[in-house]
Amino acid sequence: MMGVTLTAQFFLSLENFATLTVFGVMAIVLALGFTLGEDRRRVAKILTPIAGAYALTLLLVGPYLYYMFAHPGRAGQFWSNSLFSADALNFLIPTEVNMLGGLRTFRGISARFQGNIFEYGAYTGPALMVLVLAYAWRHWRELFGKLLVDSLAIIWVLSLGPILHVCGNSLGSLPGKLFSALPLLDKALPTRLTMYAILIVAMITSLWLAAGPAHRRTKYAAAFLIVMFSLPNLSAAILDHQSRHPCVLFEWHLPTLPRAGRERFLYF
């Protein structure tokens, strides 16, 4: 089943397939490094079925991989990794896709973020950030807690891209510059890595709500605040958003297509 799922992900989004593979390897390496004895052997046991799943995926997508490497497209990045990187303030400041992001104060800040509104995915919210910090403070020295917290920190740093942006201002280089230099992965947009961070945040939240030492009323209040800070903007006005960075992908696609192909490409 895992092999079929990986194959489906390959066909749905090659970018997601590549990044989930990288972060899956990262999680396994961290788990092997943090564990000893029986725990490490339990982690090692999952390597065999994972390798089998990837072998099945390789078999199923082999013809496509051959075509991809035998007839490579344009080398280098499709989009600027620096442009489509998460802004450090976006972890706490919502954009117009959230209900709170429609407030004038937040609109003035989020309007300075790099990229476009459809790629602002770093927003976590103050309630979840406080919850994550509380979990990290209590569980970081535990094996599973350390794995979650360290993985989350690594993903958050890489989602910031090759250059640190704060409110749209470039402040300096980050480790993401090395990640962006890797073959194939140089085409992955750093801001999209936050989807893996949200998954880890969801795991931390569920663990805290289910087994945290806080009083039940505190958990109810925290759940309420999480929902309030995460409410979406249901206004249709955001669908009419005018991107500050219109698509330039056509600049290198169109010259390679026949005239009829260009018309169908533009229509699509």
Does the structure show a pLDDT above 90 at 226?
yes
* Helix, strand, coil percentages for the chain (3-state, nearest 5): 65, 5, 30
Find, among 106, 7, 112, 96, the residue nearest to 60 by Cα: 7
Amino acid at 17: F
Range with lowest mean pLDDT among 39-53, 73-87, 185-199: 73-87
Return d(Cα 135, Cα 200) in angstroms, integer: 12
Does the structure show a pLDDT above 70 at 73?
no
Radius of gyration of the chain (CA): 21
Does the structure show a pLDDT above 50 at 31?
yes
Q: What tokens appear for 242 in the block?
A: 């005018």
pLDDT digits (tens, 9 = 90+) for 170-197: 888 888 777 777 766 777 788 888 899 9
Find all residues with CB under 8 Å of 24, minimum gap 6, and list them: 50
Return d(Cα 146, Cα 131) in angstroms, integer: 15
Range with lowest mean pLDDT among 4-8, 43-47, 182-186, 227-231: 182-186
Query: Mean pLDDT across the stretch 207-217?
Result: 88
Phi–psi pair at 163, nearest 5 degrees? -135, 135
Give me the pLDDT at residue 242, please.
53
Q: Which residue would you say has higher pLDDT here, 83 or 36?
A: 36
The pTM assigned to this predicted structure is 0.80
Q: Which residue would you say has higher pLDDT here, 169 or 78?
A: 169
* SS3 category, 183: coil
pLDDT digits (tens, 9 = 90+) for 132-147: 999 999 888 888 889 9
> How would residue 222 be classed by pLDDT, with cut points 50, 70 and 90?
very high
Using an 8 Å Cβ cutoff, are 110 and 95 in contact?
yes
Using an 8 Å Cβ cutoff, are 190 and 161 in contact?
yes
Q: Which residue would you say has higher pLDDT here, 186 or 75?
A: 186
Measure CA 252 to chain center.
26
Find all residues with CB under 8 Å of 249, minimum gap 6, and list them: 78
Instruction: Tell me the pLDDT of the chain averaged across its residues.
Output: 80
Give me the pLDDT at residue 35, please.
83
> How would residue 250 be classed by pLDDT, with cut points 50, 70 and 90?
very low
Using an 8 Å Cβ cutoff, are 161 and 81 in contact?
yes
Does the structure show a pLDDT above 60 at 236?
no
Using an 8 Å Cβ cutoff, are 205 and 124 in contact?
no
60-74, 94-108, 213-227, 238-252: which is most confident: 213-227
> How would residue 118 be classed by pLDDT, with cut points 50, 70 and 90?
confident
